[in-house]
Amino acid sequence: MPDKKKLKLVLCWHMHQPEYRDLQTGEFKLPWTYLHVIKDYIDMVAHLEASPEAKAVVNFAPILLEQIEEYANQVNGYLRLGNSISDPLLAALIAPTIPEDAEDRWQLVKDCLRANRDRQINRYPAFKKLAEMTEWLEQHYESLSYVNAQFYYDILVWYHLAWMGETVKLTDSRVKHLIEKGSGYSLHNRVEIVQIIGELLANVLRRYKVLARKGQIELSVTPYAHPIIPLLLDFKSAHEAMPDAPLPDLDVYPGGEERVRWHLEKAVQTFKRFFGSKPKGCWPSEGSISGQTLEILSDFGFHWTASGGSVLQNSLNQPENMEPSGIHHPFKLKNTKIACFFRDDGLSDLIGFEYSKWHANDAISDLIHHLENIAAHEPGNKVVSIIMDGENAWEYFPDNGYHFLSALYSRLASHPGIELTTFSDCLKSKAVVKPLSRLVSGSWVYGTFSTWIGSPDKNRGWDMLGDVKYAFDKALAANRLTDKQIQHAEFQLAVCEGSDWFWWFGDYNPGEAVSSFEKQFRLNLANLYRLLGEEPPAYLALSFTQGSGDPAMGGAMRPGVEH
């Protein structure tokens, strides 16, 4: 029985990667999906399995579920039938020879250094040495032709070993042996790593499903390809929290509400296919909500949704909501049926940005101290929501957050004044849901949509997306496409509508990340034009945004409150 006197705490982990494939060729342009599976999604489920008293909510973006499945099928096809793998990095790991072209070789070496230097590379003397050799080669490029194949094989192996989850390194004797070996890896060793990766890919989602069936976790979903719903519905919703922000030339995204309903419908179908049940909750992409978004989520029968604490603060500052109210409660916007939980930005950002620098036990003691203060000083039955990316913070912690996460679950689960719970269980146990007369639209990043709209490069992205959507609508109206072609075009359009491309547009982001994501955005748009039987516009051949920034955590995470 839930204890009414305890402080309810919901830990919600959002698992998300955008669609990295070139949908025309099937090639994965970036390897982050499978790398985050073997490092983060595996570790996150293993920690929960090791703490059966703990509870959490785990949210999956449907487009991530499908990519995990595709990787699992490809690796299985390679191991059983010798089929090729369409991820260049994974394919290079088991290639019998190294690339002939010097540029391709150099790119491969550079790709094998895309990891946290302190936590993933320097932790292993053998990998650190290879990284230092690479830096020397960068200064002496002409020497590259003298480097033998073993250098490439070893750096490929070390890259994949460094990305293995800590729970895998501690329990899999094959991984331990490969780490101890240190160098001179053979093709047999490299195939063995692909076998290990294949097992992790094949089992990861089943492990989450088992925990959900036991009632230890609640699984929830995001709109299918992770679009920013309020912006698809109405660009002007951005002005509620940013009154002076310039908007795209495009007045409104054409057919936005229809597209939102498509993403939600497809999300529920995909979730049911993987997990066998309908989700009760929806974490809207980036916690982005508006009044209209909540109405549509209500229509879809979701019991709960969630957003950032800054969105709630902005809303509570409106004259209509001036009744004093603690923030640690679910709220219900008038004329909707859905409960909305709001993230404690301060606590979530401590985990995301600060605790990686602390000793694990000190960090958990500090977190518990904050929670005890909330319990002591805020009236009524409180629900504290800590909502975070489930993958991006851990590479900054020692040992992929192993000590932190182990202590987090064990100490919170055994704390006499704290009850780890889920959003659905909160509603079942009749948590107090407070009324909200007016909502100020926003996201979990700063309580605004500034990460996706309102600057020249981001607005240009929306105008380009609007152009292809008009072409899509025209092709449909003219009945030019077969059912099969419509299906392919709809999927490609959904990918173009994803939030991640816009996240990276802008010079405050690192150059390499901006370049790879804007290239892929242009590729996605060009692919859609071709599916519609049209020549892509010339501007899609030209880069329209560059980055030169150095944001915290490489820009993959942002705090909830702007500092």
Average pLDDT, stretch 294-318?
A: 96
Residue 1, pLDDT score? 45
Mean pLDDT, rounded, of the chain: 95
Nearest to 439 by CA among 342, 541, 536: 342
Q: Tell whether the model's pLDDT for residue 558 goes beyond 90.
A: no
% of the chain with per-residue pLDDT over 90: 89
- For residue range 543-556, list pLDDT tens digits in order: 999 888 787 766 66
- For residue range 447-496, list pLDDT tens digits in order: 999 999 999 999 999 999 999 999 999 999 999 999 999 999 999 999 99
Average pLDDT, stretch 78-84?
A: 97
Residue 2, pLDDT score? 47
% of the chain with per-residue pLDDT over 70: 97
Report the C-alpha dihedral over residues 224, 40, 77, 95, rounded to 10 degrees: 120
Average pLDDT, stretch 37-50?
A: 98
Q: Tell whether the model's pLDDT for residue 508 goes beyond 80.
A: no
Element (H, E) at 204: helix 187-214
pLDDT-derived band of residue 237, with 50, 70 and 90 as boundaries? very high
Name residues whose C-beta falls within 8 Å of residue 214's C-beta, 6 or more positions apart in sequence.
none
- For residue range 364-382, list pLDDT tens digits in order: 999 999 999 999 987 678 9
Strand bridging mode 217-221 / 304-307: unpaired
Distance CA 177, CA 476 (A): 57
Q: Tell whether the model's pLDDT for residue 313 goes beyond 70.
A: yes
Nearest to 46 by CA among 145, 172, 135: 172
Residue type, 224: Y
Q: Tell whether the model's pLDDT for residue 255 goes beyond 70.
A: yes
- For residue range 111-143, list pLDDT tens digits in order: 999 999 999 999 999 999 999 999 999 999 888
pLDDT-derived band of residue 278, with 50, 70 and 90 as boundaries? very high
Residue 553, pLDDT score? 64
Q: How far is CA 303 from CA 214, 279, 425, in A?
A: 20, 9, 11
Report yes or no: 513 and 538 within 8 Å, Cβ to Cβ: no
Report the C-alpha dihedral over residues 256, 456, 528, 260, rounded to 10 degrees: -20
Residue 32, pLDDT score? 97
Query: Apex CA 195: angle with CA 192 and CA 200, to 5°?
Result: 130
Strand bridging mode 56-60 / 418-421: unpaired
Residue 548, pLDDT score? 81
